[in-house]
Amino acid sequence: MFKLFQSKGKLGVDIGTHAIKIVELGKENGRFLLLNYGIFAFPETGTGTTPEERDAFLTQGIKQLIEQSKFSSVDAVAALPPFSLFTTVIEMPYLSEDDLAKAIPFEARKYVPIPLSEVVLDWSIIGVNEAAPGSTTPPTVEIFIAAVPREETARYQAIMQAAGLNLVALELQNTGLIRGLLGNDLSPTAVVDIGGRGTTIIIVSKGYERVSRSYEIGSFEITKSIAHALNISAGKAEDLKMQYGMREGDDNVIRDSVISLVDLIVFETSKTIAGYEESKNTKIGRVVLTGGLVNMPSFVDYFTKRLSRDVIVGNAFSRVVYPQQLAPVIQELSNTLAVATGLAMREES
């Protein structure tokens, strides 16, 4: 990649299941600037058989991406994947922050399946439920709790340091995604992120994650289904997937070979949204789609029709200044780089 703007920036580093994605953003006059970006795709042979081999591979992958893309920033915000941590939302009596800080570790023990001494525990107040007028019931607060195994945070710190980056923050992957796609929009929203190895459905309200469900159906499974149905290589199946996708037509064997898996993603999305709406007596106004599979032809149209809800494709670059020559591909880039973009948007705290 070439340098898009001349400005001091920050890197958002998203280590996914099939690629490393890095976005470099600067900021001038209150606007984010796209300085650079790059993608390092993992080989079909894998990334190593042991944790040590995998970490060494990731370090070299980041180094190679930095060298090839010529990033000028070294300050980085990296994402922790959902499967490596524990999150939940709890409700507690409205206490002072000092009292909450003392009480939350005791409550967290009920939800975190490993000893608290082995995790880094973080929490945020995400909502206040006021008592009804005339009621003697005290107000309560909703608290988002995240617990990350200490060995996982140490692992990411070691990878970034070995790659020559200054890790200024580790964030939840979903936090970066929400920031990148929704910004300051506080309305109840369902974000459906269809990644390489799985799909994550996130219910967001007032800017915070309320529910997150992950399923092992993603772009890779779609490609594998095509390869199996047509008895072709994964590489050829990927090409056909992106060429024909889910376009209607009797002769589209690609659509026929993936439709059952896409229907399953739609079903899990519908079930997750309906469950939240019923439990909270609220309405999810829209569904935001993102992830590489969204680039597949006619996928969004099919998904929208089957879900029967207001569906839009998220654009992480809607609040970012980028060169006009990227305009024809900016939506495709957003579908792939939404998490990395949201990470790079993190303000200093």
Give dist(CA 346, CA 330) in Å, integer. 21
| Residue 281 backbone phi and psi in degrees, to 5 | 50, 50
pLDDT value of residue 8: 64
Give dist(CA 340, CA 173) in Å, integer. 9
Q: What is the amino acid identity at position 95?
A: L
Low-confidence ranges of the chain (pLDDT < 50): 1-7
The per-residue pLDDT for range 71-87, each reduced to its tens digit, is 989 999 999 887 778 88
Indicate the DSSP class of residue 130.
Answer: P
110: alpha, beta or left, given left = phi > 0 and alpha = psi -120 to 50?
alpha
pLDDT value of residue 95: 81
DSSP 3-state of 39: strand
Indicate the DSSP class of residue 2.
Answer: -
Give dist(CA 41, CA 111) in Å, integer. 35
Give dist(CA 25, CA 336) in Å, integer. 16
| Residue 347 backbone phi and psi in degrees, to 5 | -85, 155
Order of strands, edge to edge, in the sheet holding 86-93?
Answer: 86-93, 140-149, 119-129
Order of strands, edge to edge, in the sheet holding 208-215?
Answer: 208-215, 199-205, 189-194, 286-290, 311-313
What is the set of domains in the chain, with CATH numbers? 9-83+151-182+314-344 (3.30.420.40), 85-150 (3.30.1490.300), 215-307 (no CATH)
Beta strands in 173-326 (DSSP E): 189-194, 199-205, 208-215, 286-290, 311-313, 320-321
Tokens representing residue 49 in the block: 């058989």
pLDDT value of residue 206: 87
pLDDT value of residue 1: 34
DSSP 3-state of 115: coil
Tokens representing residue 42 in the block: 């993992």
**Residues in contact with 346: Cβ distance below 8 Å, sequence separation at least 6, in sequence order:** 10, 12, 77, 169, 171, 176, 179
**Which of 164, 124, 155, 157 has its CA nearest to residue 141?**
124
Give dist(CA 37, CA 4) in Å, integer. 9
